[in-house]
Amino acid sequence: MTAASSARKNTTQSGTGTAVIFILFGSTGDLAKRMVLPSLYELHRRDLLPDGWQLIGNGRGDRTDDEFRQHVKDAIEEFGSDGSVSADEWASFAETIHFAGGGFSVDDPGRLLEVLDAARGAVGSAQLVHYLALPPTTFVDYTKAIAAHGLAKDSRVVYEKPFGTSPDGFRTLDEAVHQSLDEKQIYRIDHFLGKESTQNLHVLRFANGLFAGVWNREHVAEVQIDVPETLDIADRAAFYDATGAFLDMIVTHLFQVAAEVAMEPPVSLGADDLLDARESVIAAFRPLDPTEVVFGQYDGYRDTEGIPEDSTTETFAAVRLWVDTDRWRDVPFLLRTGKMLDHSSQRLSLVFRAPADGPVTDTPKDGTVLTFDLAGDGAIDLAVTIKEPGSGTDLSVAHMTEQLDEVADGLSPYARLIVDVLRGDRSLFTRPDGLAHVWEVAAPVLANPPAPRPYAAGSTGPAAADDLCGGSGWI
Ligand SMILES: NC(=O)C1=CN([C@@H]2O[C@H](COP(=O)(O)OP(=O)(O)OC[C@H]3O[C@@H](n4cnc5c(N)ncnc54)[C@H](OP(=O)(O)O)[C@@H]3O)[C@@H](O)[C@H]2O)C=CC1
Ligand SMILES: O=C1O[C@H](COP(=O)(O)O)[C@@H](O)[C@H](O)[C@H]1O
């Protein structure tokens, strides 16, 4: 092992420095296949899993270890970051993989306890990590089963999103998990927080005087978080129709990103301080005004198999959010997302004000914009107004762009968040006080949702969303 990889390993060991047994509930499902299993292999290849690593997949059906290993390999080949699996790297990963079928409930642990005993026999005392890649309706039952079978003590439990699908559902789930677990054992995933660009938000802001001093209402005219998608919802119709764009994206991912922008400076960039700063500012989000919310539904949505022909679920949502702190008072945070739009991107932009007085009076709106491209490996772009080179005096906009993967290899969001679970670092996970406020902010819209406006597939969505920007448009 090189000194560098040794140093990396030390920082990614579980908090106790012991082996880790990672129990993946829902291991045969869609999320496991697309995200979790390929991310675990990414960490294995990059030497970021601790020594003594063991992976146990759980499911209600029965499979042999070899059948499950083949499932994992297929998932990595189809969804992994480079799609290839080298024989040596795979062999050393495969031997850590086991399957415990027969489900898992309070009354019946299936084969899990027996497979876990064997894994403990192989590695000795181990940090348990339970990852619930399960339908959210099962979170309470699985949490109770973990506790009932003596697997809760000192373990870490990762909950997929959504952590509650309504204000009441959130409270019930929150109370149920706290009956079995301490808050410090709980990791609620929001994968937008695991994106390289999102993490660069606070570093760029707090490590550069150029930005630290202008991160406020005096200098920033508006903040835009814009996540259009060309994707449709055909392969998850039932889930999507029961959820809609507002809950699937706005009050989850985009609110967390908004909180990353809006937070007050934390005491340090340590896990607890960062978590505290991000989740506390959500308390200052003003409850949304339904007249500042535009919903849309793409033409043809109701023709999709599994979608009721009278569905009013929104496939597009745009909101104007206000953050009532001294730093951000009267600065609109404009959030927009939708399915089946003309292009896909994930952009967070801070639009800076033109100088209030001075000799240049006709600066373009996009003349000073700091943009974080959250998609893929991430990028940061600073747009500035310049004189167009040449004999004239016309103004032009120049872009200084850094692709983050040109600086160093990043980690995919799920890989990054799993590393943090292994380290015991909760800074990029959500907290119940923040989530409770999210439901208060969403409540007026849930009580009085705007009727979705139709929009053509492949368009930019309902034109009414442009009015939220005060007519000056989305960046
Ligand atoms: N899929 C995605 O792209 C994303 C998913 N998520 C979240 O991840 C979680 C898992 O999603 P996804 O993988 O799509 O879900 P799936 O519907 O694919 O379910 C995952 C697995 O859970 C098990 N399961 C299903 N129903 C039950 C049940 N009633 N009781 C016990 N086990 C059950 C099944 O395994 P078996 O039959 O072997 O028991 C299934 O393979 C959800 O919370 C979802 O919201 C979050 C972001 C994106
Ligand atoms: O959680 C979700 O996120 C995806 C977008 O995620 P990304 O991996 O492309 O960053 C979104 O398409 C999906 O509807 C939502 O459930």
- Where is the domain boundary, 142, 159, 188? 188
Cα(86)–Cα(76) distance, integer angstroms: 11
**How much distance in Å is there from the Cα of 25 to the middle of ligand 2?**
21
- Where is the domain boundary, 140, 165, 188? 188
Instruction: Judge whether 425 lies within some domain.
Output: no
- Same domain (yes/no): 164, 218: no
What CATH number has the domain bearing residue 316?
A: 3.30.360.10
- Same domain (yes/no): 107, 133: yes
Q: Which ligand is nearest to the CA of 136?
A: 1
Q: Taking the model in full, what pTM does it have? A: 0.93
Instruction: Judge whether 418 lies within some domain.
Output: no
The pLDDT of residue 17 is 57
pLDDT, averaged across the chain? 93
| Residue nearest ligand 2's atom 4 by CA | 249
Give the number of other Cβ atoms within 10 Å of residue 400's Cβ. 9
**How much distance in Å is there from the Cα of 339 to the middle of ligand 2?**
10
Range of the domain at 149: 3-188
Instruction: Judge whether 472 lies within some domain.
Output: no
- Same domain (yes/no): 232, 309: yes
* Average pLDDT rounded to a whole number, residues 323-352: 97
Contact by Cβ (8 Å): 228, 235: no
> In this structure, are strands 347-352 and 293-298 parallel, antiparallel, or unpaired?
unpaired
| Residue nearest ligand 1's atom 48 by CA | 31
Q: Which ligand is nearest to the CA of 246?
A: 2
The pLDDT of residue 471 is 58
In 3D space, the residue among 265, 256, 277 whose CA is nearest the CA of residue 438 turns out to be 256
Instruction: Judge whether 180 lies within some domain.
Output: yes
Instruction: Judge whether 106 lies within some domain.
Output: yes
- Same domain (yes/no): 213, 149: no
Instruction: Judge whether 84 lies within some domain.
Output: yes
Q: Residues near ligand 1 with C-beta < 6 Å?
A: 26, 28-32, 34, 59-61, 133-136, 138, 160-161
Residues annotated within the binding site for substrate are 191, 195, 229, 248, 339
Instruction: Judge whether 164 lies within some domain.
Output: yes
Question: What's the total number of domains in the chain?
Answer: 2
- pLDDT value at 3 more than 50: no
Instruction: Judge whether 252 lies within some domain.
Output: yes
Cα(231)–Cα(344) distance, integer angstroms: 8
Summarize pLDDT for 353-389 with one digit per residue, the tens.
Answer: 998 888 888 888 788 999 999 999 999 999 999 998 9
| Residue nearest ligand 1's atom 29 by CA | 138
What CATH number has the domain bearing residue 71?
A: 3.40.50.720
- Where is the domain boundary, 127, 154, 188? 188
ipTM over 0.90: yes
Summarize pLDDT for 405-453 with one digit per residue, the tens.
Answer: 999 888 999 999 999 999 999 999 999 999 999 999 999 999 999 999 9
The pLDDT of residue 356 is 84
Annotated catalytic residues are 253
- Same domain (yes/no): 205, 339: yes
Cα(368)–Cα(186) distance, integer angstroms: 40
> Which string of DSSP letters, residue by residue, matches 443-472?
HHHHHSPPPPEEE-TTB---THHHHTTTTS
Q: Which atom of ligand 2 is the closest one to the Cα of 248?
A: 16
78-106 per-residue burial string, b: 16 or more CB within 10 A, e: under 16: ebbbeeebeeeebeebbebbbbbbbbbbe
**Three-state DSSP state, 372:** strand
- Same domain (yes/no): 90, 50: yes
- Same domain (yes/no): 96, 201: no
- Same domain (yes/no): 333, 199: yes
Range of lowest pLDDT (4-8, 190-194, 223-227, 285-289): 4-8
Q: Which atom of ligand 1 is the closest one to the Cα of 58?
A: 38
- Same domain (yes/no): 332, 346: yes
- Same domain (yes/no): 154, 228: no
Taking phi first (over 0 means left), then psi (-120 to 50 degrees means alpha), and beta for anything else, what does residue 399 get?
beta
- Substitution candidate for ligand 1 out of 23, 25, 31 with most atoms within 8 A of CB: 31
The pLDDT of residue 361 is 82
* Average pLDDT rounded to a whole number, residues 186-210: 95
- Same domain (yes/no): 293, 386: yes
- Same domain (yes/no): 63, 180: yes
Q: Which residue has the higher pLDDT, 15 or 468?
A: 468
CB half-sphere exposure, 50, CA atoms < 13 A: 29
Cα(197)–Cα(406) distance, integer angstroms: 13
Q: Residues near ligand 2 with C-beta < 6 Å?
A: 229, 231, 248
**How much distance in Å is there from the Cα of 347 to the middle of ligand 2?**
14
Summarize pLDDT for 239-281 with one digit per residue, the tens.
Answer: 999 999 999 999 999 999 999 999 999 999 888 899 999 999 9
